[in-house]
Structure formats: structure tokens, C-alpha cells
Amino acid sequence: MPSRNVEIFAEQLVRFVRDQAIHDCTMRLRPNAKSPEAKHWVSIIGQDSLDAVRDVIIPDCVDEALFFLLNAIDKEDLKLLFVAPDGQIVDLNDEGLWEMAGSYIEEDEEGWRLRFSKEKVVKYLK
């Protein structure tokens, strides 16, 4: 089981990166969105597909990117240190026990997305 500091990292990653990315991308699909990105997305996607993009594609893409970030740390392709709230420097390669990508994507109540996210989690296993 990963250390408490890895759990803190996981919660912050999900809340400050996953949830914010999903929220921002979802906001681009609102009918009154005026940003250049929003106008571009709606022009490409079309009104009929907005729900599928909002409910499935956006969370899937964000989760895919974060899974591969964590997988790179697990495989030691990327060395990453995390400063815990108490100031302790945590080597995620060591303390993550090479299981962070799996812990992130897990679809049961132990999975980081389900435990920490306020945004939609797409579940594929039934």
C-alpha cells in the first residue's frame, strides 16, 4: 500500500489537475461559451455530439494523460519528487511502489479517481 504522502499526492493530482481539466474543457461546451477554443470545438464537434464529448471523451482523455504520467513515474522513466504538506520531500518512484498508474485507474472504491474526484468518472468494468 502506498504511503500517506503518496495518498496526499494522489488527492491533489485528482482535485487540482484532473477535476480542473475536466471542468475547464466541459465549460467550453456550454452554449454561451465565447472563447476561441470553445467556438472551435463546437464547430468541429457539432451540437449533436456535445453530450458524448462532455460525458465520456473529455474524462477519458484527461484520465489517459494522467495514467501515462503516473505510469512513466512507476516505470522510472520520469523521476518526480513531491513536497508533502509537512515539507517532507517524497520520492514518488520509491514510495509509490510502482503502482500509482493502477491505483489511479482502478474502478473500485480504492481507485484514486473514485475516491477523490468531484468530476465524472467513466467506468467500463461492470
Domain boundaries, the chain: 4-116
- Collapse the DSSP code of 91 into the 3-class scheme (helix H, G, I; strand E, B; otherwise coil) and give the result: strand
Q: What is the pLDDT along the chain (126 residues), one digit of tens a residue?
A: 668 999 999 999 999 999 999 999 999 888 888 889 888 888 888 777 888 888 899 999 999 999 999 999 999 999 999 999 999 999 998 888 889 999 999 988 889 999 999 999 988 765
Between CA 101 and CA 74 the distance in angstroms is: 7
Query: Which 8-state DSSP code applies to residue 57?
Result: I
* C-alpha dist (Å) from residue 62 to 47, 66, 67: 22, 6, 9
pTM above 0.85, yes or no: yes
